[in-house]
Every structure is written in structure tokens, then in C-alpha cells.
């Protein structure tokens, strides 16, 4: 599509939306400013650089597509290239396992911002904020799948210290980059088989989290922290310490964020249905936008009904200022840079489409005209959204349509295939 064709489409779309009472340019500006955090771990199959090299904790990547980033330099180059394909305000989401120790004998209980200096420089160069995650997996100090709720006191202490260090590092990120650093606490702790004492580990988990969040000198506005619930992991099928009730309850009681991962519930449950309920009792939430296929499979985010519903909930209810949007998936069976671009672009599309939704749909509901509500909802689905999206990409200096794919194929040929 050339510029002229895109502009023609935009003019038509602008008129169609205007008739529906929607200001397209205002919608574009609104959607463009919403931060979306790109998960570093899609680029290297969640392996990281702090030494262990094997993914544990009940999560798994599948596939062996060539070109995985093997060094921090490769990961940064790939992410920078992916960013050129993605419009809107992008943040970068790091895990503690992406520390660069530079030969220093230092472990996760002692990391400081020094181990992440190159990531801060990268974020500055790219004009991105950073989000952060303690890494409670892929480490010899894991007690099987237990970390913060391990019954081994020295193990538990190690992971408590790790949690504290991550809040300190996150606060430094926020100060350096001039924007909050959302930190997500996900602990895989649990048992493969039926558990005889479900209470003991939860008592330990609570004691550990209490200690981490009691740490002084941390400004909760700079480092909003979320607790992520989960249904089960691979090899951790029967008992999960940090279940939905546990994580949500801990967040409500302690003024933290609750992290809703789209893949962490029963297969017929959707997180879009939970957002306005959770936000009755919490100031803020963190989202892990993902795609479960029958289980927590972490497929690349596609523009499906659930993604649209999630973004509709956030936009229609003015929840954007109370929500940190982060992506969480890892697919090693396709080009990893394309996986980033597809998921990030789709998330941004759903946000833009939410901002373009005619208010008449809600007004029909308030007027109890449910016929119009349904009719307008269905009409919305065929409004010329694609033309607005192409225009927005063009305006943002990002390739439209399948042109971005050609750029990825070229990058694959020039860079990824040589690894």
C-alpha cells in the first residue's frame, strides 16, 4: 500500500467513524500513549544470562526455530529491531535472570543495578521504560519447585533477599528512566502430586512476602508490585501455593497489585470478566496478556475476541491509569522477532479498536435498548478499523500490512540465520 492509498482509506474510515460519533484522531492519540511492556523472554526462550541455561519452574518453551538470541547483545539488537515494527509507547520487561555478571561472583540475592547497567543504557537509547521481575526459577537454589515457601530456611532466605534486591533495582530503573517500573512476583511453588498439608507452604509464602514488602526506602509509586496467581504448572499439577485466592487476597490485604495472566485460569475462565471485579477492591492491577491454548501454553497473542474484550474493559471503564499492560508468551517454533511484532502489534490494535468503539453501544444499554446494543456491537465488528490501523502505522513510521514481515524475513536472512 502506498501513502496515497492509505490516506484514502483513512479519509473513508474517518467519515464512517464520525457518523458513529467517534473522533478517529483523538482515538489514535489516546491509544498511542498507553504503555505496553514487551517481554524480553520471547527473544531467547526464557533462558536468560545468569548462568543456569535450563528453564524450570513448570513453564516450557517448545520449538527449535533457528536464531535464538544467545547473548545480551543479540537480545538487545533483536528487541531494537522488533521495536521498529511496533507503533505506540513501548516498555521493556526484564527478568532478573537477564543480569550481566561480567565475570563477578555474585548471585541473585545480591544483584544491584550494576548487573543491569547495559539494559538501562539500552532502554534510554530506545526511549523505553523498564519493568522487572524477580526470577524464582531456573536456579540451583530452587528447592524443587519451591522458593519463597521452601521449608528449607537457607533457601527461603536466599529468595527473600532476591525479592528485596529486585525492588531496589526496580526503583533505580524508575529513577533512571523517569517512569514507574512495574514488578511482577511469580513463584512456581507447588507440588506435582496431592499435598497433605496445604497450609504450611502458604504460611511460609506469607512470611516471606511480608518481609520483602516491609523493606524500607521503597516508594510504591515508583515500583508498583504485582502478585501473580496461577492454576498449575507442568510437573506442579496438584497444588499451587500462589493460587488465585492466595494472590488476590494477599494483594488486597497489602495494597499491592494483582497480576492476572490470561493463561492462569481454568480453560473456560477469561480475565476480561475479572478486571472490573478486581478493581472494586484494588487500586491497580497488572496484566499478563498471553494466549492459552487448552492450558497455559503461552502462545503468541493474537487479535481474538478475548484480547479485544480485555482492552475494551480497560478503555471503556477508564482503567488504563490503573493497569500495567505486559505481554507474557514464549514461542520458539517461529521467528522470535516476528513473534514479538505479532503480539505487540495485536495488543496495540485491540487498544486502538477499543478507543474507536462507538459510545452508542453503552448508551443503548443504559436506555435498556438491548436490541440496539446487540446490533451496534455487531456493526462495530465490520467498521473500517484496518484503514485506521494502517494510517496509524504510517504516521508512526512503522511498516504497514505485510511489509513488516518482509523486513523480518530480511533480518532473519542477514542476522538470525548466521547464529
Active site residues: 186, 228, 230, 261, 264, 288, 296, 298, 328
DSSP secondary-structure letter at 155?
A: H
Listed in order, strand segments (DSSP E) in 73-212 are 90-95, 130-133, 183-185, 190-191
Q: Please, what is the angle between helix 244-254 and helix 198-214, to 10°?
A: 30
**Where in 138-177 is the site for ligand RNT (CB under 6 A)?**
none
What are the beta bridge partners of residue 323? 285
How many other CB atoms are there within 10 angstroms of residue 118's CB atom?
14
Verify binding: residue 41, ligand RNT, rule CB under 6 A. Answer: yes
133: closest CA among 150, 116, 118?
116
Rounded to whole angstroms, how far apart are CA atoms 320 and 33?
10
Site string for Zn ion, 293-312 (x = CB under 5 A): --------------------
Site string for ligand RNT, 187-226 (x = CB under 6 A): ----------------------------------------
**What is the phi-psi region of residue 137: left when phi exceeds 0, alpha when psi lies from -120 to 50, beta otherwise?**
beta
Smallest separation, CB 294 to ligand RNT (Å): 15
Q: Judged by CB under 5 A, which of 50, 107, 261, 296 binds Zn ion?
A: 261
Residue 150 or 290 having the CB closest to ligand RNT: 290
Cα 356 vs. chain centroid, distance in angstroms?
23
Residue 41's binding partner among Zn ion, ligand RNT, none (Cβ under 5 to 8 angstroms by kind) is ligand RNT
Q: Judged by CB under 6 A, which of 312, 328, 331, 390 binds ligand RNT?
A: 328
Residue 296's binding partner among Zn ion, ligand RNT, none (Cβ under 5 to 8 angstroms by kind) is ligand RNT
Verify binding: residue 228, ligand RNT, rule CB under 6 A. Answer: yes
Verify binding: residue 133, ligand RNT, rule CB under 6 A. Answer: yes
Rounded to whole angstroms, how far apart are CA atoms 95 and 46?
9
Verify binding: residue 131, Zn ion, rule CB under 5 A. Answer: no
Residue 133's binding partner among Zn ion, ligand RNT, none (Cβ under 5 to 8 angstroms by kind) is ligand RNT
Verify binding: residue 59, ligand RNT, rule CB under 6 A. Answer: yes
How many other CB atoms are there within 10 angstroms of residue 329's CB atom?
24
38: closest CA among 113, 72, 88?
88
128 φ/ψ angles, rounded to the nearest 5 degrees = -115, 150
Verify binding: residue 296, ligand RNT, rule CB under 6 A. Answer: yes
Rounded to whole angstroms, how far apart are CA atoms 381 and 327?
24
Verify binding: residue 288, Zn ion, rule CB under 5 A. Answer: yes
Verify binding: residue 328, Zn ion, rule CB under 5 A. Answer: yes
For cell 472494586, name the residue: 280
Verify binding: residue 108, ligand RNT, rule CB under 6 A. Answer: no
For cell 477499543, name the residue: 354
Residue 390's binding partner among Zn ion, ligand RNT, none (Cβ under 5 to 8 angstroms by kind) is none
Task: Give the binding site for ligand RNT (CB under 6 A).
Answer: 41, 46, 59, 133, 186, 228, 230, 261, 288, 296, 328
Task: Give the binding site for Zn ion (CB under 5 A).
Answer: 261, 288, 328
Amino acid at each position: 500500500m502506498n501513502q496515497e492509498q492509505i490516506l484514502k482509506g483513512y479519509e473513508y474510515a474517518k467519515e464512517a467513524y464520525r457518523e458513529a460519533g467517534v473522533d478517529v484522531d483523538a482515538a489514535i492519540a489516546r491509544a498511542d500513549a498507553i504503555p505496553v511492556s514487551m517481554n524480553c523472554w520471547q527473544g531467547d526462550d526464557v533462558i536468560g544470562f545468569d548462568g543456569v541455561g535450563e528453564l524450570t519452574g513448570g513453564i516450557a518453551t517448545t520449538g527449535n526455530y533457528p536464531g535464538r538470541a544467545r547473548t545480551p547483545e543479540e537480545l538487545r539488537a533483536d528487541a531494537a529491531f522488533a521495536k521498529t515494527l511496533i507503533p505506540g509507547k513501548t516498555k521493556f520487561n526484564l527478568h532478573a535472570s537477564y543480569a550481566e555478571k561480567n565475570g563477578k561472583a555474585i548471585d541473585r540475592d545480591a544483584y544491584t543495578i550494576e548487573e543491569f547497567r547495559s539494559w538501562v543504557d539500552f532502554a534510554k537509547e530506545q526511549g523505553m521504560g523498564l519493568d522487572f521481575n524477580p526470577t524464582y526459577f531456573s536456579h540451583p537454589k530452587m528447592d524443587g519447585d519451591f522458593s519463597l515457601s521452601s521449608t528449607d530456611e537457607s533457601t527461603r532466605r536466599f529468595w527473600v533477599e532476591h525479592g528485596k534486591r529486585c525492588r531496589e533495582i526496580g526503583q533505580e530503573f524508575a529513577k533512571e528512566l523517569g517512569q514507574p517500573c512495574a514488578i511482577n512476583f511469580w513463584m512456581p511453588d507447588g507440588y506435582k502430586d496431592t499435598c497433605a498439608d496445604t497450609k504450611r507452604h502458604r504460611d511460609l509464602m506469607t512470611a516471606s512476602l511480608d518481609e520483602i514488602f516491609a523493606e524500607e526506602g521503597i516508594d510504591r509509586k515508583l515500583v508498583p508490585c504485582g502478585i501473580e496467581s496461577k492454576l498449575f504448572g507442568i510437573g506442579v499439577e496438584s497444588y499451587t501455593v500462589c493460587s488465585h485466592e492466595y494472590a488476590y487476597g494477599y494483594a488486597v490485604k497489602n495494597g499491592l497489585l494483582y497480576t492476572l495472566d490470561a493463561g492462569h485460569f481454568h480453560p473456560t475462565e477469561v480475565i476480561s470478566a475479572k478486571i472490573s471485579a478486581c478493581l472494586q477492591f484494588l487500586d491497580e492491577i497488572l496484566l499478563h496478556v498471553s494466549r492459552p491454548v487448552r492450558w497455559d501454553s503461552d502462545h503468541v497473542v493474537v487479535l481474538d475476541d478475548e484480547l479485544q474484550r480485555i482492552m475494551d474493559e480497560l478503555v471503556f471503564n477508564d482503567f488504563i491509569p490503573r493497569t500495567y499492560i505486559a505481554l507474557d508468551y514464549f514461542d520458539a517454533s517461529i521467528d522470535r522477532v516476528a513473534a514479538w511484532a505479532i503480539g505487540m502489534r495485536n495488543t496495540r490494535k485491540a487498544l486502538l479498536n477499543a478507543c474507536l468503539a462507538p459510545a452508542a453501544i453503552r448508551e443503548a444499554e443504559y436506555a435498556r435498548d438491548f436490541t440496539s446494543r446487540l446490533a451496534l456491537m455487531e456493526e462495530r465488528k465490520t467498521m473500517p478499523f484496518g484503514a485506521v490501523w494502517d494510517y496509524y502505522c504510517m504516521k508512526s513510521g512503522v511498516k504497514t500490512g505485510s511489509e513488516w514481515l518482509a523486513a523480518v524475513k530480511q533480518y532473519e536472512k542477514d542476522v538470525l540465520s548466521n547464529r
